[in-house]
Amino acid sequence: MREGLLIVLEGVDGAGTTTHTTRLSDTLRSRIAVRATREPTAGPVGALLRHALTGRLVTPGELTARAPGWTTMALMFAADRMDHLEVEILPMLREGVSVFCDRYYHSSVAYQSLTAGGGHDAIAWIRELNRHARPADLTLVLDVPAKVAAERRRRRGGRELFDDEQLQAQLCDFYAQLERHFPGERIVHVNADGPVDAVAAQVLGQVERLLAERG
Ligand SMILES: Nc1ncnc2c1ncn2[C@@H]1O[C@H](COP(=O)(O)OP(=O)(O)OP(=O)(O)O)[C@@H](O)[C@H]1O
Ligand SMILES: [Mg+2]
């Protein structure tokens, strides 16, 4: 049986990765076998990460809730990803199911290197932590100006750890040049600063192109 494709959606918080992962899988479901998934996952490490992101991770004896530092976060995200691959992504791909993943190792490199201060050591180390993660067959980067993403997050509500104006602006710049950090990968930018339907059509077009190439 032919392996499924691993297709990743990436972008800053509010870019629309969750919206378009769902849209894409709903649109293609009648034509190919698909599975929509996301990181952090609903697995044990993913659950811990979600608590850290929403400020609910408090251990006994701690006086103030404190988010783990970037190195701990990088290790946790990598651990969650390897678990995700083992229990869900790789078995699905082997069964011929295409997997659409809302965030993948690109997010780790972007978020953890920027919260580390942006040094190249951090990028190399985070990439090394993710060396055994199966590469994506296609990564779609949803590009939106920082202000647009911030307005969408504001309307949606629910503040998270990385919801910081300065960090999100740096993330926009990082994502605009994401391919610099992943040579050899198929990374395509989509202008996500428009109506949802228009963005969805562009996303679908890129995936259909890959499907057609595969035959
Ligand atoms: N093209 C669009 N135009 C207007 N609003 C949009 C568009 N895309 C998404 N939204 C809305 O913006 C909000 C954020 O979208 P979504 O949750 O998909 O972003 P996200 O990238 O998954 O964010 P996060 O990374 O924080 O989970 C949602 O309320 C969504 O309905
Ligand atoms: Mg999301």
**Residue 11, domain member (yes or no):** yes
Q: How far apart are CA 82 and CA 88, in angstroms?
A: 10
Q: What number does the ligand 1 atom closest to the CA of 20 have?
A: 18
140-180 pLDDT, tens per residue?
999 999 999 999 999 998 888 898 999 999 999 999 999 99
21 pocket-lining for ligand 1 (C-beta < 6 Å)? no
Specify the residue with its C-alpha closest to ligand 1, atom 18: 16
Q: How far apart are CA 112 and CA 202, in angstroms?
A: 29
Per the structure, the complete domain to which residue 35 belongs is given by: 6-214
Of 145, 103, 136, whose CA–CA distance to 9 is shortest?
Answer: 103
* Count: domains in the chain: 1
- Please give the DSSP secondary-structure letter assigned to residue 103: S
22-44 pLDDT, tens per residue?
999 999 999 999 999 999 999 99
For range 45-63, the mean pLDDT: 84
Residues whose CB is less than 8 angstroms from the CB of residue 72 and which lie 6 or more positions away in sequence, other chains included: none
* C-beta neighbour count of 50 within 10 angstroms: 16
Of 184, 83, 85, whose CA–CA distance to 138 is shortest?
Answer: 184
**Residue 76, domain member (yes or no):** yes
92-110 pLDDT, tens per residue?
999 999 999 999 999 999 9
CATH number at residue 157: 3.40.50.300
User: Global pTM?
Assistant: 0.95
**Residue 177, domain member (yes or no):** yes
Q: For residue 200, give the ligand nearest its CA.
A: 1
Alpha carbon of 19 to ligand 1 centroid (Å): 6
**Residue 130, domain member (yes or no):** yes
Alpha carbon of 44 to ligand 2 centroid (Å): 19
Q: What number does the ligand 1 atom closest to the CA of 163 have?
A: 26
Asked if 125 contacts 74 with a C-beta cutoff of 8 angstroms, the reply is yes
